Amino acid sequence: MKQIFALLLILLTAGSCGSGVKKEQSANELATQITLAVTNYPLFFFTQAIAGDKSELIFPVPGDTDPAYFEPGADVVSTYQSAEIIFINGAGYESWIDKVSLPQRKIVNTTSKVSDQYIRERGMSHSHGPDGEHDHAETAFTTWLDQSIALEQAELIYETLKNAYPESSQIFDANFKALKEELTALDTQMEKAFSSWADASVSASHPVYQYLGAGYGLHIHSEHWEPGQKVDSDVVKAFIESLHKNDSQMMLWEGDPHPETRKLLEEADIKVVVFLPCGNKPGQGDYLTVMRQNLENLDSGDK
């Protein structure tokens, strides 16, 4: 009798071990089957952080191209079409999306829940034919620079993945919790870092810091100066003269300004801060390290 019980016990144990291995395999298989696509690096980072390494992540923008101005060709669109979910930034970031064919129900606009916070900027109006006057109003799109919006975007990615792949929800829960802590901490740090600049005159080399300004109480005036390119000294001087003398001055740059431009600005006591929007993959580090470096640049007043 004892022998029979022992045999049954062995069989049951072997059976349960076997099924356990099978379950683990199927979970892994499911995870590896996820093919996700994104349109900029912050979304790439958030999705990778939440979905983990098991998902295949499509981000076809070349490293030297700003994803905001990327125009995908038919081959890239085909790659996007193959994804199970396509996370887009929204807020007009993907200006090409109205000209391509993507499966609508696979597209998730990560800023859809914060669309009331979109910042609109009026463009040039024109009219021709019977349609009457119309303008191509643009929406500011570097939403993730406000870390509270970045968190909302990450949360929507998390919710979407959790709903789409409930079998992997435990992985998503743990990963999102860690990411949420990082983004919340970053938001607090930015709030603190920019608090002393709330009443100051802040300028930007390019109009990309609208959400940063709105999120952290900055009044930002934007120029259209390219980092690395020399700005005509008369233009820089005119810009300096236009600033209120009594304000403490700071200028945010998307990259290193030309040395001569930097010199002119610094001579006028304008603090030059390189604050990378991080729209594409950074050469080194990741989204969080770049944002932390931005804060360090802000503290030091230099690169």
Partner 1 sequence: MKDSIYLAYRYLTYNRVRSLVLTFSVAIIIFLPVGLKRLISESEDQMLARANSTPLIAGKKGSPTDLVINTLYFQQERIETLTMEYAAILDETGFGYSIPVMSSYSARGFPIVGTSLDYFDFRDLSPESGRLFGVVGECVIGSNVARRLDLQADDSLISSPESFFDFAGVYPLKMDVVGVLGQSNTPDDDAIFVDVKTTWIIMGLGHGHQDLVQVYDPTIVLERSDSTVTAGAKLFMYNQIDPKNIDDFHFHGDINSYPITSIIFIPESQKASALLRGRIESGEIDNQVVVPTLVVDNLLQSIFRIKQIFNSVFVIVGLAVSLIFGLVITLSLRLRKDELYTMFTIGSGKRKIAQIIGMELLLLVVTSALISGIMYYITGFFIDEFINAFVI
Decide if residue 100 touches partner 1 (CB under 8 A).
yes
Q: Which stretch binds partner 1 (CB under 8 A): 36-44, 49-57, 118-126, 234-242?
A: 118-126
Q: Which of 27, 77, 119, 268 binds partner 1 (CB under 8 A)?
A: 77
Nearest to partner 1 of 127, 233 (CB atom):
127
133 is an interface residue for partner 1 by CB under 8 A: yes
Residue 3 or 104 with smaller CB distance to partner 1: 104
Binding status of residue 104 toward partner 1 by CB under 8 A: yes
164 lies in the binding site for partner 1 (CB under 8 A)? no
**Residue 4 binds to partner 1 (criterion: CB under 8 A):** no
146, 128 in Cβ contact below 8 A? Answer: no
Q: In this structure, are residues 236 and 260 in contact, taking their beta carbons and an 8 Å threshold? A: no
DSSP 118-135: --EE---EEE-GGG-EEE
Q: Three-class SS of residue 59?
A: coil
CB-based contact 88:97 (threshold 8 Å): yes
List the beta bridge partners of residue 57: 36
Residue 158: in which H helix or E strand, if any? helix 147-164
Tell me: does residue 63 bind partner 1 (CB under 8 A).
no
CA–CA gap between residue 290 and residue 285 (Å, rounded): 7
Which span (56-64, 125-133, 167-175, 293-301) binds partner 1, by CB under 8 A?
125-133
Identify whether the C-beta of residue 297 lies closer than 8 Å to the C-beta of residue 82: no
> Is there binding between residue 125 and partner 1 (CB under 8 A)?
yes
Report the interface residues with partner 1, using CB under 8 A.
71, 73-75, 77-78, 81, 98-105, 122, 124-129, 131, 133-136
